A and B are shown apart, each in its own frame.
Chain A
Amino acid sequence: MVNEELKQDDSEYEEREQDDSKVLETALAAGHILLENGAEIARVEETMERICRHFGVESGNFFVLSNGIFATGSRKPDSPGGQYAKVQHIPVKGAQLDKVVAVNQLSREVAEGRYSLEQVQEKLEQIRRMPRKSFPVQILASGLGSACFCYLFGGSLADSLVAFAAGFLLYVFVLMVRESRISKITKNICGGALVTFLCILSYGLGLGDNLSHMVIGSIIPLVPGVAFTNGIRDIADGDYISGAVRLLDAILVFLCIAIGVGVTFIVYHRVFGGILL
């Protein structure tokens, strides 16, 4: 009798056990999407904990860094066996904020109890597959952004038109090398150099009035906005390691852009002589 009861308990327990690892798996998937697409560390941790708590896993523990998640959990802190543990490495990629918004919305709805675990998993899979903006749209946006910022920093309309073309071509380059294995450092130095070269070229052809304004406008699409703001917010939240890594990332990119611009000017100077500008 007692044995049977125990057995029953055991089978129920096993079922739960599986469920628990599924819950943790789901929480991890949500955290993965958030981290990859430019959410702050605090948000990643909070979302994962929220999902776990809602589905009854009390002892989920998460440690989130800017490029990895460590998760452990079990039904009860002192439950024997059946511990769940997983480490996931998440390389830094280009942010896609609509995915962060979608997961945030999902976690809100989960907390309201609208979904079963399977539905949540399905939704996460859908979010993971959300497409990026198409290449033409991204390239046009980069051109428009460059033109606007060129005008903003004091360029004339002619300057802005050149900046549009330079920003346009810059993003063609960026998209071409995005999936390649070239390091971020090289990519950004090349990006900065390309933009400067294009602007010097058009300036030499008599297009545009002020070389500086054209270059300033066109390098803006390279500026690492997401890394910069997130780094600051992580540090403000006390997540110093992740914040420092993200800020370092941003500073490195800034430096590389400057190197690219500078080197191109030096080469131009050496080849054609004369005073710059």
Chain B
Amino acid sequence: MELEMEKVMRFMGRYSLGRDNGMGSLHFLRIKIPGGVITSEYFKGIAELSREYGRGYAEITDRQDIQLHWIEGDDALDIFERLEKMGFTTDMCGQAFPGAGHGDVRNIVGCPLSGVNKDELIDGYPVIKELTRFFTGNEDFLDLPKKFKFSISGCMYNCTRAEINDMAFIPVVHDGEIGFTVLAGGGAGKTLPGPTLAKPLRVFLSQEEVFDVAVATVEIFRDHGNRESKAKARFKYLLDQIGVNGLRNMIEKKLGRKLEDYHGDVSREWIEHTGVGEQKDERYYVCVPLIGGKLSSDIMEWYAGLAEEYGTGDLRLTTFQNLIIVNVEDKEGLLKELGKEGVVLKGIIPKWTAVGCASDFCGKTKEYHSKEIVRDIVEHLETSYPNIFVNQDFKIGVSGCPNNCGYSVIASVGLEGRLIRVNGSVKQGYDIYLRGKLENGSIGRRVAEGVPAENVVNVLNKLLEQYKIKLKNESEIRFVDFLEKLSDTEIKKLVEVT
């Protein structure tokens, strides 16, 4: 018997719903916004979807997607149809299958200021668009061993967390030519071989070569990645088995030519494009901090309106879950409008850089979820240390589970949720990680296990109090350097819960 499939089939392979298990939501919709580039018209379009189908709530993810919740399966085809008209697709969410397989190429992240950034060596967005077009709905790439994450950025700063992507293209100058070099095999999650920072492939590529190398790599992953076990199915596991030289050889074999060597530095400062900054065309960008990326449909429409009034109607989403209005001429006027609604673009840097996952919807954590902790830490820093972190940053990453969507293991201070038993009842706890970093990178070290959620801010405060004392003698020392210098005994004493 034939089903009337035309309306359904055309969305398969390009759209899906993910599994929620909290806040009364069964499904999320993760809309890919390649490179975080979106117009006010489509931002409003997604706000309307949020209002009609997602209780007026939306969040920006740390891969520059927009995520809605409370999506009903019955409404999905209408939503997909409207997204299709806007030119957007979604993650395929195949990770819920019990085994390996069903992996897709996830939203490709890029510098949110692509094309307007005065600190840009090269514009990475055209190749993001080209690769997105190629992989979207492409049946040859819908059953990868697991998901595959790309970062492609031409920014001189590391605003996309290149090192925790399966493959990252970062800009370099080589023999006077601007192009990209490649990092491979990164991933922050618990799957084998555990949290891993991507390693340099030591090649130099012109912008025209990026597409072919990217496709060849995903083909290698598809054909050689481990499909026996979900825990071994990510690209980082394959890379661990074959090594970077092995990968390079396989890519070169596929391309039928040798790639040019590059042995230069690949470390860049990990930053967010905070506050107000000048673009290369002398206009301005304005980056609005959103705690945990949380938005409402009304607020989305308001920002879209401001982008139209003060800019060119162009918005950008960042990997730190923030929103940027670009191409602003009257920056003072825009700041005044934002200020009227209490949006202040001054203050501590961590309010832009702290990241929290959607653990409240995921169902793996109990009360006092990641985004709430991020909010409370930022408020605490603003209240108690308002002058210290205006000129220096430290990264706060909060994840509800070891999948590490909130990048706990690469943050200066990372929290990873685990359920704990206190007086016979199950409560939310967090493991504390310190000293993660991407500049000359290292994975954070777990210094405490199962700290009750309500004590987390106090524990962090003990570290901050000690830092404040240290500052009296060493006025130049940054908090991240202070953390580096602490001995194991000092750390143990400071993170001990009394």
A and B from one assembly? Answer: no
